[in-house]
Amino acid sequence: MAIRAQKTEKSLVTAVLTALVCLMALRPAAAAAPPSPDLSVPCSLSVVSQTSDGTVIPGGRASVYRVASWKAVGTDYVWAYTAPYAACPIPTDGLEDNRNAVSLASFTAGASVTGLEADFGSGGRASFTGLTAGLYLIVQTTPAPEYEPFSPFLLALPFYSTADGVYLNAVTAAPKLDPAVGPDPPAPPGTPGPPGTPDPPDPTGTPDPPDPTGTPDPPDPTGTPDPPDPTGTPDPPDPTGTPDPPGPTGTSDPPDPPEGTAPEGGDPPPKSEQASDPGLPQTGQLWWPVPALGLGGIAMFTLSGIVRKKGRDD
């Protein structure tokens, strides 16, 4: 029993040691803690204005605003708002998140906070030097010609480089620009065509042929009286009171033709002036079906009488 208990104890110790070795082998190596920033060294910032394909765009102006300062809490650092931003409602925890940049830019404009300004020169670079360590808001206050301003962003100075594991006091930022979207240009005016050439006068002097459509000619400017009215409507009385002279033959005017007929040598009157049948309204119906249907009815009546009589004889 003692030997068996001793073996069991050794097996247990071996299992525990094996488990500890495995845990140590699987445990990831602890990342080295970042060094503390040197807040006494002045910082510098260069902002390069360029497009997404790397084309440098000159022109415009940028401003930087020191939003918060570094504040040591034990071995860690937190953000503390500077005096111009003391009333800012955004929490300082995670303040460096760029999702806060637009809200901070709105607060900056509303509070009329004064920042440092620099123009983008011919190389598309705006430089700021002698900056105190802290969290900065970068805004393009004047866009480059034909481009939209870049979006506001936040940057902590000194800047911790995760690739190098050190804090950088000289930093270069390169926000991207998008072309400005303006209204559509107006369409160019149309080119007027050449003026029309008038028809040359007729050298033969031949008058124009009569109008085949029957349109009456305009009134004669020579004063010749109009022909008699085919509708029989009397002329209005002469306002001067002078009676018309008698005809050259001493005969009276011929009677007006009956309504609905055309005068001799003239066009028929319009349909609106033609006399209509007073018996039936003009509905467009045809007259020939009336007698045909009447005769058909008589024939059917006669045929039915013959058939009935033959049936009685049978």
Q: What is the pTM of this model?
A: 0.50
Instruction: Lowest mean pLDDT of 18-22, 116-120, 147-151, name the range.
Output: 18-22
pLDDT at 275: 47
**pLDDT band for position 301 (cuts 50, 70, 90):** confident
Q: Which tokens is 4 given?
A: 């068996």
**% residues pLDDT > 70 (the chain):** 56
Residue 142, pLDDT > 80, answer yes
Range with the largest mean pLDDT of 131-140, 173-182, 193-202, 278-287: 131-140
User: Average pLDDT, whole number, for the chain?
Assistant: 77
Between the CA atoms of 233, 234, 239 and 245, what dihedral angle is there, to the nearest 10 degrees? 150
DSSP 105-170: HHHHHHHT---EEEE--TTSEEEEEEEPSEEEEEEEEEPPTTBPPPPPEEEEESEEETTTTEEESE
**Phi and psi at residue 284, in whole multiples of 5°?**
90, 5
Residue 153, pLDDT > 80, answer yes
Q: Cis check for the bond before 158: say yes or no (omega within 30 of 0).
A: yes
**pLDDT band for position 113 (cuts 50, 70, 90):** very high
Q: Which residues of 35-64 are buried (b: 16+ CB within 10 A; e: fewer)?
A: eebebeeebebebbbbeeeeeebebbbbbb
Q: Which residue has the higher pLDDT, 114 or 4?
A: 114
**% residues pLDDT > 90 (the chain):** 43
Contact criterion met (CB below 8 Å) for 67 and 135: yes
- pLDDT tens digits, residue range 64-94? 999 999 999 988 899 999 999 999 999 999 9
**pLDDT band for position 194 (cuts 50, 70, 90):** low
What is the rounded average pLDDT of the residues 148-155? 96
How far apart, in whole angstroms, are the C-alpha atoms of residue 62 and residue 140? 4
